[in-house]
């Protein structure tokens, strides 16, 4: 990756980070053993198997993460002269009481339990889009997080990220709210940086149940603005892909039967 796309990606993550601080992904969910009576000694577990030299370690992937990643918009959702960058990814999160994350000029309460992401960009570097599904335990948690982000976007009309030569001047201006989903908002983020220059990013957040869909569509300020039709189509694609997706995991939500992708559905989103 060249220096400019790397800086642009870092800048987008710094300005638009959602959910909570990063945490190491936990190991795959395994049922805990039933405690034995105090009078019976627990058997000594066998030592872990020694991996075959040269064999790659198996990732601790989760079915839930894979379900969300499969529902991210794929290459056929963007113009033909755009490339995937960065590739799809899923991060598990575990916010602690009182933990916060930075969004624009505010520190907001951390609530999310995972995020699936992918990016696409023109072969020349710009325009570009960053797409994310931020997952919450319940729809109520997602709605509260969306309200926090909307309030921050309304309040942060002039702020600075970083300091010194790396400082980035930034500001939000309102855009027409998106259609579809349970609720959402949109704002235009302008940024000025000595390396990346002047950029404008259309930031769109749409909640569907316990997931907040985020689209950040970036172009150079003064050139053609971010394509509103493409942004709208990406939101519609994400809403459609998530319509029968994984359900909330909060304590008040009944756990559904395991979800299975039909071959027809899988062919649409791959």
Task: Give the number of residues written for the chain.
Answer: 270
In 3D, which of 171, 231, 225 has the Cα closest to residue 206? 231
pLDDT score, position 62: 53
Spatial distance between the Cα atoms of 65 and 122, rounded to a whole number of angstroms: 27
| Spatial contact of 91 and 118, defined as CB atoms under 8 Å apart | no
Q: Which class for 62: exposed (0-12), middle (13-18), buried (19 or more C-beta within 10 A)?
A: middle
φ, ψ for residue 219, nearest 5 deg: -145, 170
- Model pTM above 0.75: no
pLDDT score, position 61: 39
Chain segment 87-101, per-residue pLDDT in tens:
999 999 999 999 999
From the first residue on, what is the mean pLDDT of each consecutive set of 10 residues in the chain (270 residues)?
48 48 34 35 44 43 79 96 96 96 96 97 96 97 98 95 88 95 97 93 98 98 96 97 88 42 37
**Domain 3-19+60-269 belongs to what architecture?**
3-Layer(aba) Sandwich (3.40)
Q: Are strands 197-208 and 114-122 parallel, antiparallel or unpaired?
A: unpaired
- Cβ neighbours around 269 below 10 Å, total: 17
- DSSP string spanning the chain? --HHHHHHHHHHHHHH--SS---PPPPPP-PPPPPPPTTSPPPPPPPPPPPPTTPPPPP---HHHHHHHHTS--GGGS-TTEEE-SPPEEEE--PPTT-EEEETTEEEE----EEEEEEEEETTS-SEEEEEEEE-SSHHHHHHHHHHHHHHHHH-SSEEES-GGG-EEEEEEE-PPPPSSSEEEEEEEEEEETTTEEEEEEEEEEEETTEEEEEEEEEETTSSPP-HHHHHHHHHHHHHHHTTSPPP-STTSPPPPPP---HHHHHHH-
Please state the domain extents for the chain: 3-19+60-269
Chain segment 133-149, per-residue pLDDT in tens:
999 999 999 999 999 99
């Amino acid at each position: 990756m060249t220096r400019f796309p790397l800086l642009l990606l870092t800048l987008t993550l710094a300005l638009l980070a959602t959910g909570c601080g990063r945490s190491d992904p936990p190991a795959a969910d395994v049922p805990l053993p039933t405690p034995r009576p105090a009078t019976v000694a627990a058997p000594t577990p066998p030592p872990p198997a020694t991996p075959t030299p040269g064999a790659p370690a198996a990732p601790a992937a989760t079915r839930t993460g894979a379900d969300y990643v499969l529902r991210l918009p794929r290459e056929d959702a963007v113009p033909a002269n755009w490339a995937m960058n960065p590739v799809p990814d899923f991060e598990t999160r575990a916010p602690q009481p009182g933990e916060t994350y930075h969004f624009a000029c505010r520190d907001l309460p951390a609530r999310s339990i995972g995020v699936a992401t992918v990016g696409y960009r023109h072969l020349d570097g710009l325009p570009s889009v960053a797409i994310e599904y931020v997952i919450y335990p319940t729809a109520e948690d997602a709605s509260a997080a969306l309200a926090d982000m909307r309030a921050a976007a309304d309040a942060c009309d002039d702020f600075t990220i970083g300091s010194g030569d790396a400082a980035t001047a930034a500001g939000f201006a309102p855009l027409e709210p998106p259609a579809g989903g349970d609720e959402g908002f949109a704002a235009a983020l302008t940024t000025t940086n000595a390396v990346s220059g002047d950029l404008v990013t259309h930031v769109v957040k749409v909640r569907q149940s316990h997931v907040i869909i985020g689209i950040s569509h970036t172009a150079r300020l003064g050139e053609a603005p971010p394509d509103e039709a493409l942004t709208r189509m990406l939101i519609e694609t994400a809403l459609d892909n998530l319509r029968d997706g994984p359900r909330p995991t909060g304590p008040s939500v009944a756990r559904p039967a395991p979800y299975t992708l039909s071959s027809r559905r899988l062919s649409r989103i791959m």
